[in-house]
Amino acid sequence: MALLADDLLRKIGESFLETSDLDYYINFRAATPHWRRATGKPTADGDPRFMPRNWIMLEREDDDGFLTFVNLSTGRFLRKRLPCLRDYFFVGAATGSGHLVVGERAPPYQTRVINPFTGTMVEFMAPIPLPRVETVVVTFSPMMVFISDGGFVQWADQNSESFQQAEFLPRWARSCRHMTTLFAGQVYVTTGRGAIASSSIVEAAGTEEEGGAQVADQNIVMDTAVLGPPLGEGRSYDYHYLVESEGELLLVRGQHDTSPVVYKVDLVNKVLVPLRSIGGRALFLSDSRCFSIDAGKFHTIEASTIYYAYAAPGAPGWVHAYDYDQSLAERDTSGLVHDLGTDFSLGCCCRPFTFPELLTSYLTALHDDLTELERVVHYGDEYYGYGNDEADQNDELLIDHTSDI
């Protein structure tokens, strides 16, 4: 096995990268020096082959540094230990990729992005935002961090000195919230009544450097890409959820107490196209996070079903599920085929959980009112306790830009 041809070794490695099983790829390269030389080293420069995709973080255990991920494409669960996170303020796990956004523990609390599957880290100049974070998105080429909360979205690239900010919902519509998601390398945001804005790069005026060379700066702007559903469709206070599904961007209108309507977002013609069916997919929706899965990859997940999840901080959560094809055909709430309970708490360990309940833990894992950085600002470093350091010395993930792991 150690003497396999280089081209065969590269094909094996590429098979892991195609399914975003980056942890398998790292273990494969670590087998022998020959296998390392025959395969590419993961880098932190935005190479898309080594960027995690379709991963979500289900759970983070603060005391032990364990993280639980699930691959939405393959249905594979992964429990991984990253004690290095204790050296940073945790901000959030990026929607759709699994990147971890953290902040330095020393002022000015600069932003860092960690790839938990390869161990690489990208350094940002901008300090992490202080307020509570609901959604985190990481883009590539260039690598940028988008953070949303309430009606605002903030973003920064590696060279930004601070996060830019834009307001996408007026105060009167703030209860409807906005939705932020990554699709085809761009960030899309609902802006009220279902209208959708997207990120784009524009060239700013050039700045003169030594020698008279003109260097153009790049700025990110958020402009309306698609208008919302026609007036008269739905209620003015309906929620609008954005979710990537099988290479398409979908907009779902409705709430847990109404039959949902799913639109395909046609970005070429800038229109919304109503869908009669979502096929074998299942959509999981919440106020701040959404995802789509192939129901055939997960036991007890019903195809053509939309799962709504909600949980307020400190309160039990609930989940409702709708058969989309049936509810759309009947145009009433008789499409409610599953009520997974109105009083379940995923923080309770008294019973086993179904796959729908387990997956909705990602949707209902709302952050506390204060971020980790805010707690230190308000209460001081003594607020935190990190357990037994000696137990971690033999089980650490080394984050190193130069070592050829």
Q: Is residue 35 part of a domain?
A: yes
Q: Is residue 15 part of a domain?
A: yes
Q: Is residue 14 part of a domain?
A: yes
Q: Is residue 24 part of a domain?
A: yes
Q: What is the 3-class SS of the chain, one letter each residue?
A: CCCCCHHHHHHHHHHHHHCCCHHHHHHHHCCCHHHHHHCCCCCCCCCHHHCCCCEEEEEEECCCCEEEEEECCCCCEEEEECHHHHHEEEEEECCCCCCEEEEECCCCCEEEEECCCCCCEEEEEEECCCCCCCEEEEECCCCEEEEEECCEEEEEECCCCCCEEEECCCHHHHHHCCCEEEECCEEEEECCCCCEEEEEEEEEEEEECCCCCEEEEEEEEEEEEECCCCCCCCCCCCCEEEEEECCEEEEEECCCCCCCEEEEEECCCCEEEECCCCCCEEEEECCCCEEEEEHHHCCCCCCCEEEEEECCCCCCEEEEEEEHHHHHHHCCHHHEEEECCCCECCCCCCCCCCHHHHHHHHHHCCCCCCCHHHHHHHHCHHHCCCCCCHHHCCCCCCCCCCCCC
pLDDT tens for the chain, 405 residues long, are 567 899 999 999 999 999 889 999 999 999 999 999 999 888 766 678 888 888 988 888 766 778 989 998 888 999 998 888 888 988 888 887 889 999 998 888 999 999 999 888 999 999 988 766 778 899 887 888 998 876 788 899 999 999 988 876 655 454 555 678 888 888 888 876 778 888 776 655 544 444 444 333 446 566 667 877 765 565 556 788 899 998 899 999 877 666 788 999 998 898 899 998 998 999 998 877 889 999 988 888 888 888 888 766 555 567 778 888 776 555 555 555 555 554 455 455 555 567 777 787 777 665 455 567 777 766 665 544 433 443 333 333 333 333 333
Q: Is residue 242 part of a domain?
A: no
Q: Is residue 109 part of a domain?
A: no
Tell me what pLDDT residue 350 has: 56
Tell me what pLDDT residue 238 has: 73
Q: Is residue 5 part of a domain?
A: yes
Count of the separate structural domains present in the chain: 1
| Boundaries of domain holding 19 | 1-41
Q: Is residue 403 part of a domain?
A: no
Tell me what pLDDT residue 244 has: 92
